[in-house]
Structure 1
Amino acid sequence: MSTNLLELTGVHTHIGAYHILHGVDFAVPEGGVTMLLGRNGAGKSTTLRTIMGLWPASQGELRFQGRSLKGVATPDIATQGIAYVPESMGIFTDLSVKENMVLAARKARNASELDSQRLDWIFSLFPALKKFWLYPAGKLSGGQKQMLAVARAIVEPRALILIDEPSKGLAPSIIRNLIDAFGELKRQKTTILLVEQNFMMAKALGDTVAVMDNGRVVHRGAMAELAGDEGMQQRLLGLSLGAHQ
């Protein structure tokens, strides 16, 4: 049985006067990919932001490696080994690819201090980053910017990576590249919590799944079970994975 790296229990989140999360419960097993699925507005992005402390939980418990994250500041959460790739990607467009990578590496003050073997491995996943190493990040294509955002998250080993809709707006060939890259991370037992609307990616990568609706988790289980049951897909998500092959 896998150990749960991250556990959310009864998590509520308020943003101003709005009550967004209503008792979210699910766990992320260590060494696998957990998909967080649901219709638009279900609360998926808010869940990731709550885990990172960007929007504090108003009730409930979040535990990472057995330690509470509730009330912990975002920089301190990051130092515990959690990386976050927001839907907006979060890259610095005026800086070069190289400068973006150095800023993401806590142990490097300049490019020469980056782990060269790990950097070569990242280049094997995303060759475009090596080609455009000295280019301003703002001049990259949308797909290349997403590659950079993911590369920043893995420039150093992380215990957990939170990724919010990485395939949004990207061409199928770029999505396939991301699936291959995430598949390599999965083979290396990197734990990932992935919010995604592309169900080809969800089916290809997911080990476990939590489905959200109206700020609650309405289903938890194996991704393979959901992928193989079109009735469940229709009931929980309003569509069929089979239509997204």
Structure 2
Amino acid sequence: MHEFVVAADNPLLELRGVHTHIGEYHILQGVDMCVPRSGLTVLLGRNGAGKSTTLRTIMNLWAASAGTIHFDGENIEAVQTPDIARRGIAFVPEDMGIFSDLSVQDNLRLASISGRLNHARLDWIFQLFPALKRFWLRPGGTLSGGQKQMVAIARAIIEPRKLLLIDEPTKGLAPSIVDNLAEALIELKTHDTTILLVEQNFNFVRSIGDHVAVMDDGRIIHSGSMATLSTDETLQETLLSLQA
């Protein structure tokens, strides 16, 4: 397939020639990707294409075996995960990663660098996810999937972040929760937060994404504006058929 690559001027995040091996498996096979500053970039692709591995490689949860990763002008592929987080990147994994035995309040307090909750920021998060206020003292393990996703994202944004990595947030969620999540992501974009979102639900991301990259077999095979992909049915048929 012809490879489409669109470079961004002064991107916030840039991957060049990134390879990742997990045991004997060669998952990422030369990923070239730019995430422009501000807005929401969507990483699309079928199961097993390497999307989650890309996010985990950015966070150095799985080490890149070759290539470079630059964040805000700094090379980070050899930086330890906690230090990457301190540079302003937050990661919401597919399994959400919340503490089941702790209350919503304690989950957010643990995610705060200072260990204290900023009440102004907390009020803003309650505006994004009003349900959290109702479940504030409830253990995370008793929440529904959609409520856990709210907690996971709230944990990631309890401190101001430059970049938010979110892996498959709509998986298994009811349509009403998906709509609420879309509204929250749109609001986040207005607060100087760049988002890289891994997703398979094209109908969900086509209305909220600004930029898109499509991955297959460990490589980026297309990158460009979401508006272009949303209006080009031939391109959609070519690229999105890979997700089947």
Q: Do the two structures share a fold, i.e. TM-score over 0.5?
A: yes
Per-residue CA deviation, residues 66-94 of structure 1 (Å, 9 max, x unaligned), is 11111111111111110000000000001
- Give the Cα–Cα distance (whole angstroms) in 1 for the partners of residues 198 and 183 of structure 2: 17
Q: How does 1:84-233 map to 2 (within 5 A)?
A: 84-108=91-115, 113-233=116-236
1:52 aligned residue (59, 67, 82): 59
Asked if residue 75 in structure 1 is aligned to residue 78 in structure 2, the reply is no
Q: CA deviation at 1:200?
A: 2.2
SS in 1 for 2:123: helix
> How many residue pairs are counted as aligned between the two chains?
236
Per-residue CA deviation, residues 21-71 of structure 1 (Å, 9 max, x unaligned), is 010001111111100001111100000000000000000000001111111
Does the CA contact (< 8 Å) of 1:12 and 1:57 recur in 2? Answer: yes
- Give the Cα–Cα distance (whole angstroms) in 2 for the partners of residues 77 and 146 of structure 1: 22
Q: Which moved more, 1:2-11 or 1:207-216?
A: 2-11
Does the CA contact (< 8 Å) of 1:91 and 1:145 recur in 2? Answer: yes
- Give the Cα–Cα distance (whole angstroms) in 2 for the partners of residues 3 and 173 of structure 1: 37
SS in 2 for 1:7: strand
| Paired letter, 1:48 | L
Does the CA contact (< 8 Å) of 1:7 and 1:62 recur in 2? Answer: yes
- Give the Cα–Cα distance (whole angstroms) in 2 for the partners of residues 239 and 73 of structure 1: 34
Q: CA deviation at 1:201?
A: 2.1
- Give the Cα–Cα distance (whole angstroms) in 1 for the partners of residues 10 and 206 of structure 2: 22
Bigger RCO of structures 1 and 2 (CA < 8 A, at least 6 apart): 2
- Give the Cα–Cα distance (whole angstroms) in 1 for the partners of residues 69 and 9 of structure 2: 18
TM-score (norm 1): 0.94
**CA-atom RMSD in angstroms:** 1.3
TM-score (norm 2): 0.94
Counterpart position of 2:3:
none
Q: CA deviation at 1:128?
A: 1.1
Query: Which runs of structure 1 show a deviation greater than 4 angstroms over 4 or more consecutive aligned residues?
Result: none
Q: CA deviation at 1:2?
A: 5.7
Structure 2's unaligned 5+ residue stretches are 1-7
- Give the Cα–Cα distance (whole angstroms) in 2 for the partners of residues 200 and 182 of structure 1: 15
Residues 153 and 16 (structure 1), Cα distance of their counterparts in 2 relative to 1, 3 Å cut:
same
Counterpart position of 1:11:
18
Does the CA contact (< 8 Å) of 1:36 and 1:193 recur in 2? Answer: yes
